[in-house]
Each structure stands twice: as C-alpha cells, then as structure tokens.
Structure 1
C-alpha cells in the first residue's frame, strides 16, 4: 500500500515539475495582466519590465500600498508564483485586486514570459 501511495503522489507532482515553461504561451497569459500593467510604463499598476529579480514596491513613480512596501518580497520565480495565485492572499492589504491565475502551467508560462521583459 505504501508503494501505491508514493507512486500516486509522484504521478501528481511529476507532470508539473517536468513541464518546461513556455515564454510564448506566457505572452498569451499576459493578456490577463494588460488591463492594469504595461511593460514599459506605469499604468493602473506598475510597469512589469524587469520585474523578475526586482524588489517589490520599488518602481519609481508608482504609489504602492503600505502592505506591499512592507512585504520585503523580491520578485523571484517562487515569489511571483505565490503572488500570482492570489495577490490579496499573499499580501493582505495590497491594492492589486486580481483573483489570481489558478492553473500551474499558465503561471509558469507567465513567469517565463516575465523573465524576458527588460
């Protein structure tokens, strides 16, 4: 029975872990972000050019919530993945009102695309 449980756990984990993220597919997912974010200039939300590796609440000229300013987050892949699952759950008090991206593959692809933005 233990072998079966271990095998079942591996089956559910391996496909997501083994899946290679696709920046082109992530560009399509980014369409969900465009209502508030642009790549090269602030809009309703801060610009996302160079977001990967950047400290949260650090884009000049954008008025961030106190919650995000105090979060201490640096936008690496893990932090972005958590944030994109539900910003208000990740940082209560954030101004970003977005339900999140529930699909693991879509989030991975979006993050891969965000890594291409300079």
Structure 2
C-alpha cells in the first residue's frame, strides 16, 4: 500500500472516530473556562421576567438565582455587565419569561471586565 493510500485511510478513520465521539451523549456537568460575555438581569422569572442570563457569542444560558447574588458586579442602576466566567453546563433546562427555554449553567468563577474589553 503506498503512502497516499495509507494517509487517506488514516484520515478517513480519524474522521469516523471523531464524529462518533462528537455525536455520543456527553456526560454532564461540562466545565467551560474563561468565556467572556454579558450577565443580564431581566426581572424575576416568577413574574415573567428573564431572570439572570449569560450571553456569550451566539449562545444564551440561564443562571439560577437572582441579581443580589452578583450585586458586586453590577453598577448602580444597571442590569447588564460584561464578565469573564468559568461555568458548568448542568444538562438541565430552565424556563424564563414567557416560556423561553435556556440551557442551565452554574457559575463557578466570575469577574467583571473593564468597559470595552469584551
């Protein structure tokens, strides 16, 4: 078997193994480190508010608790703050607002970013 055929076969096997690993059910929780985004308070979910949401890239996650747990991050009279977060994706779903469902996360570590750094 020549080198080109061997490399092609190896690449094909690699892709097949990688795809099977990607499509398998991951065990929760999953840890994510140093994601930057916006932590937002949209009012209590009990009265149709969105609660705490973490926006990063094109993903939005629901965060258990309320704004008071993160008061040290928010400026007075604001409901959004840019942050860097380590979090666990729990595998659970959380319902906010008028029935919008988000993946739930638990924040492990959080720090406020200077304005304009996100």
TM-score if structure 1 supplies the norm length? 0.31
TM-score if structure 2 supplies the norm length? 0.31
**Larger relative contact order (Cα-Cα within 8 Å, sequence gap ≥ 6):** 1
